[in-house]
Structure 1
């Protein structure tokens, strides 16, 4: 979904250049640290595992297709990413309560404890990164980052499979 030329000409190129550069720097730094938090659990859970465990925690047990759809990724990707989580006991495969033939994925008690440990570490990192910010500044940043991520998601969803936004 290319952006029409009128949209980009109406916006200040300097701001857009700065924004795209800062987003690239953020992505690199986030990947370098995996926003893993601080202390003992620093850098100990990759992004995919965190997002999968978090989704299961927030939405409860679900099948691979539902999990993939909710995350905006392919079912085969979810299957591949869930396998080590099942192997390490963080996620359980159980029978669907209404259809015993279907399998649902569920956060295990061990997975719940591990997720809470990582969340606490990441909260500490966020507190360190925003030390000196006012509560309003944190709220505004969260609101704008959420809005930015939603816009990226909408653009990604509107693209045909295999296409890029450039």
Structure 2
């Protein structure tokens, strides 16, 4: 395996990614105000995916997120218990379970998105619009490369950005 590029630049990049990951976890990039840090990363990503793609089964949800079905089952249980996600029977196969965002879940997700959107605005308030766009495009590309590297061979899984 060869390393392409400037080793010093790559060292800085890997260090900044590590610092970003630590700071993101410390703050959970949870937003601002009263909504700050009130939804964990797993819940946010699950609710966001159900909002983007609509009702789906556990296996489909796990596959679309690039995680194991047992992980989805474990992570979705408290969302069902708190009324953010509804479990319903599959319309064609009553034995299968379909997960869908509840009205309460949609409302809660909107609150969290609004808070996180404000945090992103605050953090980049002194950036030019082109800088925000470039950063967003590069971060999306970087996350896509990470997702592709982690996806099983032959899989087209990639974490999709949220809809605006």
TM-score by length of 1: 0.90
Q: Distance in 1 between matches of 2:96 and 2:152?
A: 30
> Alignment partner of 2:151: what SS?
helix
Structure 1 residues 69, 158: CA separation in 2 closer, same or farther (over 3 Å shift)? closer
Deviation of the 1:99 alpha carbon: 1.5
CA RMSD across the alignment = 0.9
In structure 2, list runs of 5 or more residues that go unmatched.
Answer: 154-164
* The structure with more helix, counted as a fraction of residues: 1
Runs of 4+ in 1 over 2 A off after TM superposition: none
**Does residue 58 of the first structure (1) align with residue 48 of the second (2)?**
no
**Does residue 109 of the first structure (1) align with residue 107 of the second (2)?**
no
- Residues 14-23 or 97-106, more deviating: 97-106
**Does residue 92 of the first structure (1) align with residue 86 of the second (2)?**
yes
User: Match of 2:119?
Assistant: 125
User: Match of 1:35?
Assistant: 29
Deviation of the 1:102 alpha carbon: 0.8
In structure 1, list runs of 5 or more residues that go unmatched.
Answer: 160-166
User: Match of 2:39?
Assistant: 45
Deviation of the 1:134 alpha carbon: 1.0
Q: Distance in 2 between matches of 1:21 and 1:128?
A: 24
User: Match of 1:140?
Assistant: 134
Deviations 1:112-164 (A, max 9, x none): 000000000000000001011111111100100000000001111147xxxxx
Residue correspondences, number? 153
TM-score by length of 2: 0.91
